[in-house]
Amino acid sequence: FPVIRAQSSQEYTPEAKFYKIEAILRPWRVPHVSLGLLKMGIRGVTVSDVRGFGAQGGSTERQAGSEFSEDKFVAKVKMEIVVSRDQVDAVIDKIIEEARTGEIGDGKIFLIPVSDVIRVRTGERGEMAERMTGGLSDILSSAVSN
C-alpha cells in the first residue's frame, strides 16, 4: 500500500499564522481520521454532515451500502481543523493517510488562511487561544525538553 503525501508546498498564500484545513471526506473514513489526529495531538476539530458532488458525480458511495441519492449529491463529512502554520503539513498528511482508499470519491482538502483565533472562555487571542493543553505543540515542546 503506497504512502501518499501531499506534494510539498511551504508557501501558502495569503500568508497567515493560522490556517483552517477543511477536508471533505467519506463518512466511513472519519473515525479513522479523527483517531489519527487525536493520536498526533490534534484536539480541536469540527465536523459536519454535508452533501456534494465532484468527480464521483452522482454515483453513490459503494461502501455506504444503503445510501441512495436521488438528487446526485453524495453524503460526505466536512472536517474543519484550525492549526498554526507549522502544523499544517503534518495534519494534511495524516488526513490523507487515514482517509485515502485510492478510489474516486476520497475527497478533497482546502486550506484557508485564518486571521485570528479567540477563546470564548478567556478572551485570549492568537497563539494563546489556538493552543490546547496536551495539544500537538505541547507534545512537541515536552519532547524537546525531556
> What residues make contact with ligand GLN under the rule CB under 6 A?
42-44, 81-84, 87, 130-132, 135-138
Residues 36-55: x where in contact with ligand ATP by CB under 6 A, - otherwise, as a string: --------xxx---------
Q: Is residue 127 involved in binding ligand ATP (CB under 6 A)? A: no
Omega into 31 within 30° of 0, i.e. cis? Answer: no
User: 94: Cβ–Cβ under 8 A, 6 or more apart, which residues?
Assistant: 33, 36, 37, 40, 42
Q: How far lies 114's CA from each of 20, 35, 45, 105, 130, in Å?
A: 6, 24, 15, 27, 11
Q: Is the dihedral of CA 52, 57, 58, 63 positive or negative?
A: negative
From the list ligand ATP, ligand GLN, none, partner contacted by residue 80 (C-beta under 5 to 8 A by kind)? ligand ATP
Q: Is residue 81 involved in binding ligand ATP (CB under 6 A)? A: yes
Nearer to ligand ATP, 69 or 137 (CB): 137
Contact status, residue 27 vs residue 106, Cβ threshold 8 Å: no
Shortest distance (Å) from residue 138 CB to ligand ATP: 13
Nearer to ligand ATP, 81 or 88 (CB): 81
From the list ligand ATP, ligand GLN, none, partner contacted by residue 75 (C-beta under 5 to 8 A by kind)? none
Shortest distance (Å) from residue 80 CB to ligand GLN: 9
Q: How far lies 135's CA from each of 35, 117, 125, 146, in Å?
A: 14, 16, 17, 16
Residues found near ligand ATP in the complex (CB under 6 A): 44-46, 80-82, 119, 121, 132
